[in-house]
Structure 1
């Protein structure tokens, strides 16, 4: 495992821990609504919609990682300036 992969793994793990602390009732409600929508779609539309959801989730994860890493680096920069 190289340095870059280690950093990516650490960031992904930290984001997962942050997300786990979010309101579980709200998350459960979201997944229930998603299931109702998917059950009312025909097979072709359901497959297309699931692909879209997968793409959106993947992009959202990339955004979260980029923001987390940038915030971490900003914190290091500010700490360096302060001390």
Structure 2
């Protein structure tokens, strides 16, 4: 896990930060990658083999790229609607 401010960022926190349904794959990705750093460098074919839909793969890869560049961080607390 990586500390951002006082927030621990792991695979579940990252996917919850993205939202839009990708958080349902947290357990599957956690068991496959184990480490958040491995998810950040994952390729689309690996995600496809895990059964993720195209839109979900694109979203995860887009936010992983933004995270690596330092342009986006998951929120400490989810937004309340």
TM-score calculated relative to the size of structure 2: 0.31
Tell which structure's C-alpha radius of gyration is larger.
Answer: 1
Bigger RCO (CA 8 Å, 6+ sep): 1
Identify, as 1 or 2, the structure richer in helix.
Answer: 1
Identify, as 1 or 2, the structure richer in strand.
Answer: 2
TM-score calculated relative to the size of structure 1: 0.31
